[in-house]
Amino acid sequence: MSFDQSPLLNGRTVVDTRSAQVGTITDVIPNEHDAETSWAVVKTGALSGGHYMPLDDSYVDDAGRLVVPFDKASVKRAPKAGREHVLTPDLARELRDYYGRAA
């Protein structure tokens, strides 16, 4: 998914490939350190904070949901998004390591 489409993603429901709910997108962040990957901040529950999730390999289905190749538990274990949603070089590296993305 390109960052050009990302403003349209805020507020969308996120589901995994089996249609199980993962959460809701609250923000989309371009990665200035890696032009290939944009990241979404996904709120996985009413009381949980947001967690980062890559947008590559995702798509919007006919119901308007963002389908991702990660289940809710994987996203909940991902690094948490800070208040400002700033992607530092160290955080970008941590996210690439967590999600198994090449630098």
Beta strand pairing call for 21-30 and 13-16: antiparallel
How many domains would you assign to the chain? 1
End-to-end CA distance of the chain: 18
The pLDDT value given to residue 67: 97
- Residues 32-72 pLDDT 10s: 655 667 899 999 988 878 999 999 889 999 999 999 999 99
**CATH number of the domain enclosing 39:** 2.30.30.240
Q: What is the CA radius of gyration of the chain?
A: 12
pTM above 0.95, yes or no: no
**Pick from 15-19, 30-34, 81-85: least confident:** 30-34
Q: Has residue 4 got a pLDDT over 60?
A: no
pLDDT for the residue numbered 89: 87
In terms of residue numbers, what domain contains 19? 3-99
Output the average pLDDT for the chain: 87
CA–CA gap between residue 61 and residue 83 (Å, rounded): 29
Q: What's 57-89 look like in SS3?
A: CCEECCCCCEEECCCHHHHHHCCECCCCCCCCH
